[in-house]
Structure 1
Amino acid sequence: MLVTEVRKAVIPAAGLGTRFLPATKAMPKEMLPLIDRPVIQYVVEEAVASGIDDLIIITGRGKRAIEDYFDDSPELEMHLREHHKSETLKMVQEISSLVDIHYIRQKEPRGLGDAILRAEKHIGDEPFAVLLGDDIIVDTIPCTRQLIEVFGRTQGPVIAVNEIPPEKVGSYGIIQGRPLDPSLYFVEDIVEKPRLEDAPSRIGVMGRYIFTPDIFQCLKEVQPGFGGEIQLTDAIKHLSGRRPVYASFFSGKRYDTGDRLGYVQAIIDFALTHEEIGDEVREYLQLVAGEKLPLTSGTAVNHRKSISRP
């Protein structure tokens, strides 16, 4: 029986996190905290809020902390119960009961496309969502839910897109598309991280996808591309030669927490809306802005020197 409802999702979280070294030498980049929750929790919560009830996280070596985080913690729960910290206990228990999570290991870092291919046996013949583990998108209607609604109309693969600043084009997959309406495009071509002068447009892929299971065969057929890895963009291009693929603009604010600046922006914005510390953070930022600090990296350089060996 053909399944058209999107009930499963894949979160690739096997990357090495090289942009955050040395911190990610000992912890997954997806576990970097935004105030009091790790990045990946926001991604999992988006999937759950979008109606997903079966979640696959693709991990790699050194990613055990992700599994531990979403697992039960009997010792911690007992400690909280004994000290009558009922609200904190409830919060901890809710984390492990968010959704059914399965873990599949990518044995070597061969790219995003290869990571998604690891989930083929679990997905079977169903359509499924993909949410990148370090992308957070905030909106009243979850971005994945928005794409699922588009999939319901088109019955074809859908990728989330947005307009990219010229200086960022070389960091994204860029589509060439034919507009079907102001927010929906028919994908005619897609290129991974092109130079600005070679880019077919400035419409970039934003880390949220709805795929039909035939994407797996395309992932098997494509050759290693940019960086010697199995590129998802190459598989999407291959898929678009077989069936219509759509690109949908979405509402919401996106944070690329795999980028240092994007991570800091997310911390600031999430802190400003935090119910316990938001007002104090706002006052502090106003104080810092009033001091008109110089735009220099000298402070960071001096700090690094202070922790270096003599």
Structure 2
Amino acid sequence: MNPRIRKAIIPAAGFGTRMLPATKSVPKELLPIVDRPVLDYIVQEAFSAGIDHVIIVTGRMKSSIEDYFDKNFELDVSLRKSGKTAIADKLCEATPGVGRVSFVRQQEALGLGHAVWTARHLVGDEPFAVLLPDMLMVNDTGCLESMVDVYKEFGGNVLSVEKCAEEDAHKFGIVSLRPSSNGPLINGLIEKPAPGTAPTNLFLSGRYILQPEIFQLLESQEPGAGGEIQLTDSLIKLMAQQEIRPLEFKGRTFDCGSPAGYVAATLHMAMQRPELAAALAQEVELLGNTRGTSRAA
């Protein structure tokens, strides 16, 4: 029987340069999608998949992330004195229990692989998950939950992938596959292949289930693209030792680290709220009519 996936790492130490100037003072992970930070959605995805302990890797100027997942006693008292007990109760229910979220500081911005390695002592010698906080993945069943189901059946390592248009494959980290008796396995990772050379149109979409041996590989990993410790470089070494299986995610994925992806995610999630959907639909229709009039003019 495969060990249960109990812990998840969320690397949240980046500067969020694509979302400047907003991220000059607010961590990109705390930018709100309607009325919840994008990071809150990612943490809840982990908990919904059965994760017991989420480890968030932060950096300088990110202490507000720790504050968000802590209980705010002053706010709680103020709300209750004002008779807003329903809101206070809702906030309490949404606050993770003691010990469910931990934080570790990445002291230097040395890449995704280094951020994952920074959390090694909190993970220990057991398989774990990694969730990128920029990628909001929406479906009836969470992406990580589906990956855990695959892991329970086969063990090993599992990476989430999605299909892109073939002409866009050069923009992503693309996987190549080989057949096996238990379904396809990943046998190659190519970062932004030259146009027309990609072996598939399946790209890595930001969720990983990894065996602890990855930490040893990351510790000795030489800097790669951008002079950083790249997780994909160590994954290439890992696949020579262990099976790495793809899980193709069938829902919607929004890159909330980009302005267009962030706005799209906000609109999508707002439209799922009955109290917001009608007014937003009217605004979108009005905007469409205005743009059509502008083009005609």
TM range (shorter): over 0.9
Q: Is the 8 A contact 1:170 1:194 kept in 2?
A: yes
Amino acid at match of 2:54: L
How many correspondences in the alignment?
Answer: 294
2:242 counterpart residue number: 243
Q: Deviations over 1:161-220 (max 9, x none)?
A: 0112345434422111124599x5311110223332443322100100100101111112
Is 1:65 aligned to 2:64, yes or no? yes
* Secondary structure of 1:276's aligned partner: helix
1: CA distance, partners of 2:238 / 2:114: 15
Shift of residue 294, structure 1, vs aligned partner? 7.7
Q: CA offsets, 1:216-269, max 9 Å, x none? A: 111122211111111111111010011111111123211110121111110111
Task: Specify every segment of 5 or more residues in structure 2 that has no aligned partner in the other structure, as ranges.
Answer: none
Residue 114 of structure 2 corresponds to 114
Mapping for residues 170-249 of structure 1, pairs under 5 Å: 170-180=170-180, 185-249=184-248
Deviation at 1:137, TM superposition (A): 0.8
Aligned CA distance change for structure 1 residues 76 and 248 (closer, same or farther; 3 Å): same
- Whether 2:30 is the aligned partner of 1:38: answer no
Distance in 1, matches of 2:294 and 2:127, equals: 48
Aligned to 2:157: 157
Does the 8 A contact of 2:2 with 2:155 survive in 1? Answer: no
State the partner residue of 1:304: none
Cα distance in 2 between the residues matched to 1:43 and 1:138? 10
Mark the CA change 1:35 to 1:234 in structure 2 (over 3 Å): closer, same or farther. same
Mapped to 2, the partners of 1:203 and 1:226 lie a distance apart of: 20
Q: Do the aligned partners of 2:162 and 2:250 also contact (CA within 8 Å) in 1?
A: no
Alpha-carbon distance in structure 1 between the residues aligned to 2:7 and 2:87: 29
Match of 1:305 in 2: none
List 4+ stretches of structure 1 deviating above 6 A.
none
Distance in 2 between residues matched to 1:201 and 1:251, nearest whole Å: 17
Question: Cα distance, 1:288 vs. partner?
Answer: 1.3
| Distance in 2 (alpha carbons) for counterparts of 1:225 and 1:291 | 47
Question: For the aligned residues, what is the CA RMSD?
Answer: 2.0
Name the counterpart of 1:263: 262
What is the CA deviation profile of residues 110-157 of structure 1, one whole-angstrom value per residue up to 9, with x for unaligned ones?
111000001111111111111111111111211101111111122110
Name the aligned partner's letter for residue 260 of structure 2: L
CA distance in 2, matches of 1:24, 1:181: 47
Give the structure-2-normalised TM-score. 0.93
Quote the residue 1:124 is aligned against: 124
Q: Percent identity?
A: 39
Q: Give the TM-score, by structure 1 length.
A: 0.89
1:145 aligned partner, one-letter code: E
Which structure 2 residues correspond to residues 125-140 of structure 1 after superposition, within 5 A?
125-140=125-140
Task: Quote the offset at 1:29 in angstroms.
Answer: 0.6
* CA pair 166-264 structure 1, distance change in 2 beyond 3 A: farther
